Amino acid sequence: MADEWVDHFEQDLKHARVNRDAFRTAVHRLLEYGSVVATDSQPERRVYETITRAFATFDNYFRLMGCRLFQDRQLEYLRLYPPGARIPGVEDDGLAAEGLRERLSRVEAATLVSLRFLYEQKMAEGMLDEDQEAAIQLDELTSVMNTTLRQGLPTGLIERQKVLGRLQRLKALRVNTESDLESAENWLMIRPMILTLVSPDWIEKANQELIEAEPEEGDTDVD
């Protein structure tokens, strides 16, 4: 029975013109990073196109693990949601298992929540660019973090780069690597993917946890 399932699975990949190596590369990329944005690089575009050609097959594969694969064709964006995650605009399938969730430090979680708040604010003001990105200055971010969550970005440049670099990896924002992160006037770009990364109910929960927690306390899960 198992051999028949594998044969059927491989036939689906063959019909979609996806070979084993391309399949493994795409799966490993999603499991390691959780997302793929075709416009970010040629390697990511190749992975995106591979998955798009056989989306149903990839989706079925990940559903066996309890995961969900989300695609935004307009933004050419894919995100792999862990078991139990709530996908904005998608009905809950009842899965509640833990695992594959990103563990964020308190400051990373506070930054992510603040970025989502700022993105929605810029979107309401009609201040998104043609790529649906929102430009903010670093001092806008630190102001929101300090006033609403009582948690600022690290003052040290290396620590600050580490936090922002982690959120870049999650596709929440872009940072101009040539910019001076020590300057409050440095510009950051909040990416539209943040809407599928941070759901409203997670923001409410995280806000409460962050406000009630002591500054040194634990980490926060993000779907």
Q: Where are the domains of the chain?
A: 2-81, 102-213
What per-residue confidence (pLDDT) applies to 88? 57
pTM of the model: 0.74
- 10-residue mean pLDDT series, the chain (223 residues): 71 89 94 92 95 94 90 92 68 39 76 91 94 92 86 86 89 73 74 81 59 51 53
What per-residue confidence (pLDDT) applies to 8? 80
- Both ends of the chain: CA-CA distance in Å? 34
**Cβ neighbours for 222, distance < 8 A, ≥ 6 positions apart:** 101, 102, 104, 109, 112, 170, 197, 198, 202, 206
What per-residue confidence (pLDDT) applies to 221? 53
What per-residue confidence (pLDDT) applies to 98? 35
In this structure, what token pair is assigned to residue 4? 């028949």
Long-range contacts of the stretch 71-78 (C-beta < 8 A, 24+): 72/193, 72/196, 75/37, 75/132, 75/192, 75/193, 76/37, 76/38, 76/39, 76/45, 76/48, 77/35, 77/36, 77/37, 77/38, 77/171, 77/193, 77/196, 78/30, 78/35, 78/36, 78/37, 78/48, 78/51
Q: Options 1.10.10, 1.20.1630, 1.20.1500, 3.40.50; which CATH number does 102-213 get? A: 1.10.10
Q: Which residues face 71 on adjacent strands?
A: 78
What per-residue confidence (pLDDT) applies to 100? 40
User: Which of 60, 65, 69, 68 minimizes the C-alpha distance to 5?
Assistant: 60
Q: How far apart are CA 47 and CA 41, in angstroms?
A: 10
What per-residue confidence (pLDDT) applies to 125? 95
What per-residue confidence (pLDDT) applies to 76? 94
Q: Which residues face 77 on adjacent strands?
A: 37, 72
The dihedral through the CA atoms of 89, 90, 91, 95 has a sign that is negative
What per-residue confidence (pLDDT) applies to 218? 47
What per-residue confidence (pLDDT) applies to 147? 85
What per-residue confidence (pLDDT) applies to 198? 72
